[in-house]
Amino acid sequence: MTNTEQTTVLITGANKGLGLEAARRLGEQGWTVFLGSRDAARGQAAADELAAEGVNVVMVPLDVTSEESVSDAVRLVREHTDRLDVLINNAGAPGNIVAPADATADEIHSVYDTNVYGPIRVTHAFLPLLQVADNPRVVMVSSGGGSFAVVTDPEQPVSKMHELAYSSSKAALNMITVRYAQALPKIKFNVATPGEVANRKFAATDMNNHTGQLTVTEGTDSILELATIDADGPTGIFIDRLGPVGW
């Protein structure tokens, strides 16, 4: 069965939080949503929830740290569509917020496996399906914590959050996105942060124990903006819901 009409999107880490809300909002626009979830049971529960609301959704078991899982996800998506219009690399790991003096290579590696290598694995695997879409877009969900401009601003709370893994992994993801954008101009590669950098706010999710000042819906505004840009839209940019973010 091939989908030739509805816009298609695959969202990693979509069984909760920002990923689930982005799936809900795009599904409400009539998109076909491939809901990626490392935990199949939680993913199916989330997909059932969206389906009950009328969303055309397919649950895709997807662990971004596993080459085998990613390959299986490609095969499953291909059973439903001959192209992928949008890929949202949302799955992320916060790490343990280990002080730099105590951080080990193993601690850094585990976070990079999800936040850096994961998006590369998924993007590489789905490139053939993206390349046959009319207006393919890839959205990388990053963080203000991955911005040198933000982290070096003493007025920003993240400047005082002393850790290595999360912020450096998101900085790496930002650079990776720019390099993809330069090398593959037929695909829009952009970066979204779910916070409001100027207002020093971030979205309430499991990753921050729901301490953020923005709702999960507000947190997905920048993701939705980049997922829905037209063929004349930008590539290689970094935004939050208020506008451009400094690298």
- pLDDT tens track for 79-116: 999 999 999 999 999 999 999 999 999 999 999 999 99
Tell me the three state secondary structure of residue 211: coil
Name the pTM for this structure: 0.95
The pLDDT assigned to 100 comes to: 95
DSSP 135-185: S-EEEEE--GGG-HHHHT-TTSGGGG---SHHHHHHHHHHHHHHHHHHH-T
The mean predicted confidence, pLDDT, of the chain is 94
Low-confidence ranges of the chain (pLDDT < 70): 1-4, 202, 204, 206-212
d(CA 170, CA 163): 12
